[in-house]
């Protein structure tokens, strides 16, 4: 049931884990989670190396920036401005 928040979260986590395993690259995985793996595959085939500033979709760029910043804050235990 995709409307069940727990099931939705579990499936999202499983999907992200699959993408991380598929790409072996966190930035690629986050971008694929948001923009779709076919788009990321196309970008990589055209020379994209995971530079966040070169992500072609503004929404995906913002998503990847947000995820990476959040993870950085979690790892640093820096919640002051969060």
Question: pTM for this structure?
Answer: 0.88
pLDDT tens digits, 56-82: 999 999 999 999 999 998 888 866 655
Helices and strands in the chain: count of H runs, count of E runs: 4, 0
Supply 67's token pair: 């995820």
For residues 52 and 64, the answer to whether their CB atoms sit within 8 Å is: yes
How many C-beta neighbours within 10 Å does residue 17 have? 11
Supply 10's token pair: 């579990």
Query: Quick one: which of 2, 4, 26, 23 has its CA closest to 75?
Result: 26
pLDDT tens digits, 17-53: 999 999 999 999 999 999 999 999 999 999 999 999 9
What pLDDT score does 79 carry?
64
């Amino acid at each position: 049931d995709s409307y069940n928040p727990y099931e939705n979260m579990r499936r999202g986590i499983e999907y992200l884990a699959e993408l991380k395993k598929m790409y072996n690259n966190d930035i690629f995985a986050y971008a694929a989670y948001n923009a779709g793996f076919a788009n990321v595959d196309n970008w990589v085939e055209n020379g994209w190396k995971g530079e966040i500033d070169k992500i072609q979709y503004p929404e995906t760029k913002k998503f990847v920036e947000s995820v990476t910043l959040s993870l950085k804050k979690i790892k640093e235990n820096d919640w002051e401005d969060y």
